[in-house]
Amino acid sequence: MVEFSKIEHAESIAKIIRHHHEHLDGSGYPDGLDGRNIPLLSRIIAVADSYDAISMHRHYSGATSHARALEIMRSESGTKLDPEVLDVFEDVINSGFNVHT
């Protein structure tokens, strides 16, 4: 088993993971961070995690189409999700990048 403390940049990685459920408007958790106080990599993970949660089949909900997932995410742009990160994500995913491989 790998000891987390021996992983290079462990503290930075832990901070990024910790804050990926923060929202731009401060309504997220665990610390209620807002805007640019949320690490960029956390904001990137938040967008990817949102897409995955919305578009993939879960035991509590069915899969949502790509177009509908992006529509839902756009409605959260600027409040929950970083609009700049979301724009880049849309460009990448719409360029033919397969996120489900």
Domains and their CATH numbers in the chain: 9-94 (1.10.3210.10)
CA angle (47, 98, 13) in 5-degree steps: 40
101 Cβ neighbours under 8 A, 6+ residues apart: none
Residues of the chain with pLDDT under 50: none
Can you give the pTM of this predicted structure?
0.87
Residue with tokens 């990448």: 92
Question: How many CA atoms within 13 Å lie on the side-chain side of 40?
Answer: 3
Helices 83-94 and 66-75 meet at what angle, rounded to 10? 170
**What is the predicted pLDDT for the residue at 42?**
98
pLDDT at 4: 73
pLDDT of residue 98: 67
